[in-house]
Amino acid sequence: MTSLLSIASTPAPRKAARIGLVALALMAFGAVAARPGLAAIETGARNAFIIDVSTGTVLLDKGADERIPPASMSKLMTTYVIFDYLKKGQASLDDMLPVSEKAWRTGGSKMFVPLGGRVKLEDLLRGVIIQSGNDACIVIAEGLAGSESAFVDQMNQRAQEIG
């Protein structure tokens, strides 16, 4: 796993990608580390899948092959695609993206983007990761891909590529 020290000295796009990967790894590690011995990982979740990325060992498989609604999995894919934009230099954490009325009116979990305002991509990314902000996802999709549907197409294409 990447050390926090190496993240601090990494250029911004790579830094953002590494921070996201470290955050995901820490979430998975937290679920595993809470249970010594790894043999008896328990969760109240209906579905869960945890692997050790260094060995490929499956640590927990609870209904991993069942079809379930995407819920926040779509936000993970959104984040993945954003990090790809950053890695390729197609976006910067300092980019200011416009807030449409559609994004502002989006229901569910929100980060409460300002109608007609502009929000820094870095803040929107936090809004997606921390607040699970549906409005932030729409602002990002429209700002980076031109429309929500174009961004969804990019996510689906990337999902096909990674299997």
Q: How far apart are CA 60 and CA 114, in angstroms?
A: 41
* pLDDT value of residue 71: 67
Mean pLDDT score of the chain: 82
Between 113 and 19, name the one with better pLDDT. Answer: 113
Crossing angle of the two packed helices 12-33 and 73-87, in degrees rounded to 10? 150
Q: Decide: pTM greater than 0.75.
A: no
Residues with a known catalytic role: 72, 75, 132
Q: What is the pLDDT of residues 122-148, one digit of tens each?
A: 999 999 999 999 999 999 999 999 999
Q: How far apart are CA 58 and CA 39, in angstroms?
A: 11
Q: Is the pLDDT of residue 1 over 50?
A: no
Q: What is the pLDDT of residues 40-79, one digit of tens each?
A: 688 888 888 899 989 999 999 999 888 887 667 889 999 9
Amino acid letter for position 30: G
Residue ranges and CATH numbers for the domains of the chain are 4-62 (no CATH), 73-162 (3.40.710.10)
